[in-house]
Amino acid sequence: METSLSQAYTDTHIPPHQIIPLDFESVRELPESHIWTPAVEDRHHNEREELLPVPPVIDLGAPDVTELVGNACRRWGMFQVTNHGVPLGLVDDVEAHARRLFELPADRKLKALRSPSGATGYGVARISPFFDKLMWHEGFTIMGSAVDHAKQLWPHRYEEFCDVMDNYQKKMKSIAYKILLIALKALGVDEEDEEKISSSMLYESNGALQLNSYPSCPNPRQAVGLAPHTDTQLLTILHQNNTNGLQIFQQGIGWIPIPPIPGALVVNLGDLMHILSNACFHAVYHRVVPNDTSHRFTVGYFYGPPIEAVVAPLAKLPSPRFRAVTVKEYIGIKNKHLEKSLSLIGI
Ligand SMILES: C=C1C[C@]23C[C@H]1CC[C@H]2[C@@]12CCC[C@@](C)(C(=O)O1)[C@H]2[C@@H]3C(=O)O
Ligand SMILES: O=C(O)CCC(=O)C(=O)O
Ligand SMILES: [Fe+2]
């Protein structure tokens, strides 16, 4: 299980110089490589921000949780959850270890650089090659155990990091599964259907953990933290430290900030959920904008079926809009075509 998701990425080869993030500590101004022009409009909030509609915050223990989750998935493709059962101490530990990693000097972090055909380790975001300019961001990707890269960073003290990441992934996997079952129920999947789907893909899962760092930025209006994208897997569970930056795009409204709420986790739907739900639910288009005062850290858990599993619109939903794909095949399409991927498998 550990390596299987990373195997879906071995076909793309990215030269090492395109994987190395900027040494943010060493710069006082935006380098040309990081200036996005024209500066993206409407990125910092307009005065009408209080009037903007926002995705709901859902108490996972609420009696009408299925309806609440279903509505949020149809309307937004995103919501925040409270009462999720993940101990806050564990979330704090993960954040502290992410901070400790990114605060290492650049030459130490490069010891754990992602390899050209690899998926895990330190580096720029996977989607970077699709954009001319670089992002104000550095990431660290874990699939299964983090031990190999952690040893490169801390040859003598890697165990605590690995234990915390393992525990967090276990917790994330179980709440992601719970949320998936609620979402399926909201789609009208009953227990019998569930057995059919689950035998093929849903009880077995695959996950990845992504630590993200967005240092404070000398000229945030001309920089991009993480370029707009949808996530690929079924769903993502995101912890954000107390620093703003995440925004989602809504047709007819524009970019809407998703403020961090202490103790809450952000859930967003990815492309595979869009396919499975036959576009009843939406993969949410989102981005991160930097700021000039504080350092944003986030931890994302990406949850999906094993890479050999076939994903197709649920049989009970009328007129399928997508052809069936294996997870591996879809990741391959996305690695080549990014945003066009969903339309490429449309029927
Ligand atoms: C399991 C995943 C999900 C990945 C790829 C792989 C590990 C890292 C994830 C991210 C994290 C940052 C945004 C994104 C778009 C990226 O560039 O890397 C994500 C991507 C995806 O959702 O496709
Ligand atoms: O850091 C964030 O707020 C968003 C991260 C994200 O979109 C991702 O890791 O896919
Ligand atoms: Fe994302």
> pLDDT by residue (tens digit) across 277-334?
999 999 999 999 999 999 999 999 999 999 999 999 998 898 999 999 999 999 999 9
Alpha-carbon distance of 90 to 180, in angstroms, equals 22
Q: Among residues 119, 161, 162, which one has the least CA distance to residue 141?
A: 119
Which atom belonging to ligand 2 lies closest to the Cα atom of 214?
A: 1
- Reply yes or no on whether the pLDDT at 273 is more than 50: yes
Q: Which of 129, 107, 128, 133 is nearest to 30 (CA)?
A: 133
Q: Whose CA is nearest to atom 6 of ligand 2?
A: 300
The domains found in the chain, sorted by start residue, are 46-344 (2.60.120.330)
Mean pLDDT of 83-90: 97
162: its two tokens: 């690995």
**Looking at residue 193, what is its pLDDT?**
75
Three-state SS string over 99-130 comes to: HHHHCCCHHHHHHHECCCCCCCEEECCCCHHH
The pLDDT of residue 42 is: 56
Atom of ligand 1 nearest to the CA of 331: 23
In the prediction, which pLDDT does 2 show? Answer: 43
Q: How far apart are the first and last CA of the chain?
A: 32
Residue 106: pLDDT band with limits 50, 70, 90: very high
Return the DSSP state at 146.
-
Model confidence band, residue 50 (pLDDT cutoffs 50, 70, 90): confident
Can you list the pairs that 16-19 forms with residues at least 24 positions away whose Cβ atoms lie under 8 Å? 16/113, 16/116, 18/124, 18/128, 18/129, 19/113, 19/114, 19/116, 19/123, 19/124
pLDDT reported for residue 4: 80
Ligand nearest to the CA of 14: 1
Those residues whose beta carbon sits under 5 angstroms from the ion ligand 3 are 231
229-244 mean pLDDT: 98
User: What does the pLDDT average to over 168-186?
Assistant: 95
If you average pLDDT over residues 140-167, what whole number do you get? 97
Q: How many helices (H) and strands (E) does the chain have?
A: 10, 14
Q: Ligand 2 centre from 298 Cα, in Å?
A: 7
Say whether 296 is catalytic: yes
Q: Which atom of ligand 2 is nearest to the CA of 246?
A: 3
Are 285 and 247 within 8 A, CB to CB? no
In angstroms, the CA 213 to CA 97 distance is: 12
Compute the distance between CA of residue 90 and CA of residue 239 in angstroms, rounded to an integer: 11
Phi, psi dihedrals of residue 262, rounded to the nearest 5°: -55, 130
Q: Whole-number mean pLDDT of the chain?
A: 93
Is 196's pLDDT higher than 90?
Answer: no
Tell me the average pLDDT across 244-265.
Answer: 95
% of the chain with per-residue pLDDT over 70: 93
Residue whose entry in the numeric block shows the structure tokens 């739900």: 277
Q: How far apart are CA 295 and CA 283, in angstroms?
A: 27
Q: Write the residue with the smallest CA distance to atom 11 of ligand 1.
A: 210
Q: What is the pTM of this model?
A: 0.96
**Location of structure tokens 């930056």:** 245
Rounded Cα distance, 95 and 119, in Å: 21
Pocket test for ligand 2, best of 233, 288, 302 (most atoms within 8 A of CB): 288
> Residue 236: which of 169, 303, 143, 331 has the closest Cα?
303
